[in-house]
Amino acid sequence: MAGRARVPADGSVDGGLVSRAQRRANLSGIRGTMKRAWEPMAQRPLPAAAMLRAQEWGDFYAGWLNNRYSASVYLRRTSWGVIEHLAIRRHDGLPVEGWDDLQRIKNEVVGAERVALEVYPRADEVIASANMRHLFVLPEGFEMPLTIQGHWS
């Protein structure tokens, strides 16, 4: 067993890792919450591991959670002004579901009147290390030069 961590009775090891049995038990509980009706997003403290990840990215602003998703909000200073970057992931680790869920999260976290973009970067900038989606919310009052309804400026 050289090189393997010894797992204490509570299932935890240094660094926040848990045993396979504990992960399965946690996932079972999460799946139950995913089946319930959508609960509104609420600003809450993030779990310790998520908070450490958030601080590594810098400019962490707030954490929002519901029974299905978590959204970490970062402030990004750009030539367009301050943009709110929402990093969104499902609690069960599966891919974020469709457009409707992302739109609802955006509306509940920053408001229905705000405009957000999802960026598909150049190939050399892709980081695909987690099932996470990123929305970039434009500054309040920022008007896009195009919209889905065809109001072009």
Q: What angle do CA 117, 70, 121 make, to 5 degrees?
A: 30
Which residue ranges make up each domain of the chain?
Answer: 40-137
What is the pLDDT averaged over residues 47-62?
71
Residue 70: strand pairing partners: 65, 89
| pLDDT tens-digit readout, 85-117 | 999 999 888 999 889 999 999 999 999 999 999
**CA–CA separation, 37 vs 60, rounded Å?**
29
Instruction: Identify the three-state secondary structure at position 119.
Output: coil
Q: pLDDT > 90: what percent of the chain?
A: 37
CATH architecture assigned to 40-137: 3-Layer(aba) Sandwich (3.40)
Distance of CA 12 to the CA centre of its chain: 24
Give this prediction's pTM.
0.69
**CA–CA separation, 11 vs 7, rounded Å?**
6
Structure tokens at 77: 């200073």
